Structure 1
Amino acid sequence: MDIEKIKMKIIKYILLIVLFAIIGIGGYVYYLTYTPQGRVKWGQALFLKLSASDNVSEIADRLKTMTVLERSHFIDQMPINLEGLSVDTLKITSDSLTTYIFKPKVFDKSSPVIIYYHGGAFVLPWTNLSISYATRLSKLYNAIVVAVDYRVAPEHPFPIPNNDCFATFLWTISNIEKWGGNPSNIIVAGESAGATFASLVAIKAKQENLTNIKYQILECPAGYSPFKTTAYQKFKIGYYLQEPEMQYAIESYLPNEADRTNPLAFPFYADSLSNLPPAYIIICEFDPLKDTGKEFAEKLKNAKVPTFLKEMKGMVHSIPGPFNEKDRENLYKEILIESKRYLKK
């Protein structure tokens, strides 16, 4: 028996198996990432597959029946790493507005203070996802992060959450020195609804001649109600943030239809955007809110506000799930570099 021939046959069979496996995996990835509007990144495609439901209205229907306390546990399964940080929980107003202060145990006092406004379609309160954003920002900048659990709709519609967000800004510039922070070197940051609130706070601060805010980080902001945009029509079903949720969000936040073009509710409608702090605006390729963020960025640029617009290719709204963590890490490193051009030394 020729041992060498047998070895060669075994190697050929193994190579064929590996080849077919690669073809099979490649074919599945190709199938998985296909959508009618283009190809999403594989990590986003896998997240969409794992979180998919036959009932498009499932999340909106659940939200409608949940209390605020129940909604605060909407994303409890997300792991949290607070290593290297201390967290203080405070009530900063007479009506018990809850605010969290994330502070690195060793931090650079020249770093900015970041006021973080969480996302959640105007209806989700503080969740584990909010903690993950706050800790990421604190560790990225080695800085204090002030984060607010603003009151949410439908129990507390416009302008209550907006007032909570601005109250947090005013509290921060008056009190953050007690934690070693610089009240004159502030970043406002948020994702989705939180990005909308962050930009509104910057606009109101400018109107009141408060120049403490030096930069804005706005991830997937709702610059205005998205229902008539091209992106909304293309991505309103099947791309994570779905039409029933968005309709419920806007109806809850702005039950009075006249407020849906109110400059105090959406930043796009502000009378003037000139002299605002520089902004880094993130939009995602397959996000129904993409056009509202893009057009708000264009309006800022037209007002001569230094604005960096970053489109995350292949991503759905706010890059959900754990499979594209490297993309998010790289994105936030870019934000850090860009923002340092404008922050006080």
Structure 2
Amino acid sequence: MSKPLDLIPSHLQTRVQGAALRRVLTLPRPVLRRIAGEPIRIDGQELALEAQALLRLQALAGRTQLSADTAEKARAGMREAAEIIGNAPVAEVEARSERIPTASGGLDARLYRPETLTEPSELMVFYHGGGWVIGDLDSHDGLCRMLAEHIGIRVLSVDYRLAPEHPFPAAVDDAIDGYRYALDHAEELGSTPDSLLVGGDSAGGNLAAAVAQHATASGTKKPVLQALLYPAVDASVRRRSRELFGEGFLLTDTDMDWFMDHYQPDPDLRGDPRLSVLLAEDLSDLPPAYVVTAGFDPLRDEGEEYVRRLRQAGVPVAARRFPDLMHGFLNLYAAGGRFQEVLFEIIGSIRASLALRS
């Protein structure tokens, strides 16, 4: 017997699934609680109801991990998931393609500008997440549009090379090249060399931190801010949060091993500070940082340890843990509710940081 979705053309199935998901998440909370099950409380934290319901629905659909048999299958899975969640419409943002020349041949990039923004502005050089193996310009298109529109700045999203085709340090080299391009072409991009910031989520947060460290150490003009959104900062050890949240919260322990085995297969080299940025000997004089962590995230403790080390080194840091959410929540903002609420808090914090600077 055919399943209901089998009667719908394949190119429309993800839209149907996405509409159904968003509809479920708007049900009355008592109904949503019945779908989600008993509240999940770990380490003194309670998972947000919308997050628990979404994870429950993903489990029922067989979507329990980000990794796959091959990198291509994992990338296809992320594209499909992004299509199902969808993007909240941001009609008033213009996007144009850029090409960044590099020694390895060149990188695609995408520049976002709010249509009402005609004067020069700050420019965020943004690096997408995905464990250095999955993700691309399209997977984070909606998020970059939201950042540009609601912070009121331009955003340059850099499509760095992915592993395993291009293992470490290819992504770091590309991230640095993307930042240098933004410095060298700041006026063409609608900004100035004194008005650049770096940002990224997860693996992208790792790259943003690596760029900030490289710029500081090399004497290159530093970004004015580093926005690190649940970043991966230490591949050398397992912390308590990985043991607590390594199963059932979107990013799994298996996923993390799979990503790292593709990006840096040699365990003996994972302490390289270009990868494990937390292990850099000198963190002093780095640009101010805004660091976001999630309570139910295997990466939580390393991100918060990086905050501690930055503060110890005298770096101004604003840190925010969202104790009721899991890794990757920014990619879920189009589901509304709690996911959209925290995105706007993050946007407000970055806006405030830039306003204080000026």
If the TM-score is normalised by the length of the shorter chain, which range does it land in?
Answer: 0.7 to 0.9
Is 1:340–2:355 an aligned residue pair?
A: yes
State TM-score, norm by structure 1.
0.85
Question: Any idea what the Cα deviations from partners look like across 1:45-78, whole Å, max 9, x if unmatched?
Answer: 1111111159787542255453867866662332
Matched, 1:145 2:151: no
CA contact (8 A) 1:219 1:318 kept: no
Name the residue aligned to 1:213.
223
Q: Which residue of structure 1 lines up, in the alignment, with residue 258 of structure 2?
A: 248
Q: Aligned-pair RMSD on alpha carbons?
A: 2.6
Give the one of 34, 51, 54 matched to 1:44.
51
CA distance in 1, matches of 2:268, 2:35: 46
TM-score normalised to the size of structure 2?
0.82
- Bigger Rg over Cα: 1
- Which letter maps to 1:83? A
Alignment of 1:34-183 (within 5 A): 34-35=40-41, 38-52=45-59, 59-64=66-71, 66=73, 75-77=82-84, 78-79=86-87, 81-94=89-102, 95-107=105-117, 109=119, 111-183=121-193
Q: 1:36 to 1:272 in 2, by over 3 A?
A: closer
- Confirm or deny: 8 A CA contact 2:203 2:232 kept in the other structure: yes
Which stretches in structure 2 are left out of the alignment for 5+ residues?
1-27
In the aligned structure 1, how far is the partner of 2:216 from the partner of 2:260? 26
Measured at CA, do residues 259 and 310 of structure 1 come closer, stay the same or move farther in structure 2, by a change above 3 Å? same
Residues 281/116 of structure 1: CA separation in 2 closer, same or farther (3 Å cut): same
Secondary structure of residue in 2 paired with 1:282: strand
User: Are the counterparts in 2 of residues 125 and 150 from structure 1 also a CA contact under 8 Å?
Assistant: no
Amino-acid identity (%): 22
Separation of aligned partners in 2, 1:61 and 1:185: 40
Letter in 2 for 1:43: E
Whole-Å Cα distance in 2 between the matches of residues 76 and 309 of structure 1? 31
- Number of residue pairs matched? 322
Give 1:215 shift. 0.4
Measure the CA separation in 1 of the matches of 2:152 and 2:118. 6
Structure 2 CA distance for partners of 1:46 and 1:126, relative to 1, 3 Å:
same
CA deviation after TM superposition for structure 1 residue 35, in Å: 4.7
Equivalent of residue 189 in structure 1, options 188, 192, 199: 199
* Residues 222, 287 of structure 2: 8 Å contact kept: no
Aligned twin of 2:21: none
Relative to structure 1, is the Cα distance of residues 74 and 240 closer, same or farther in structure 2, using a 3 angstrom cutoff? Answer: closer
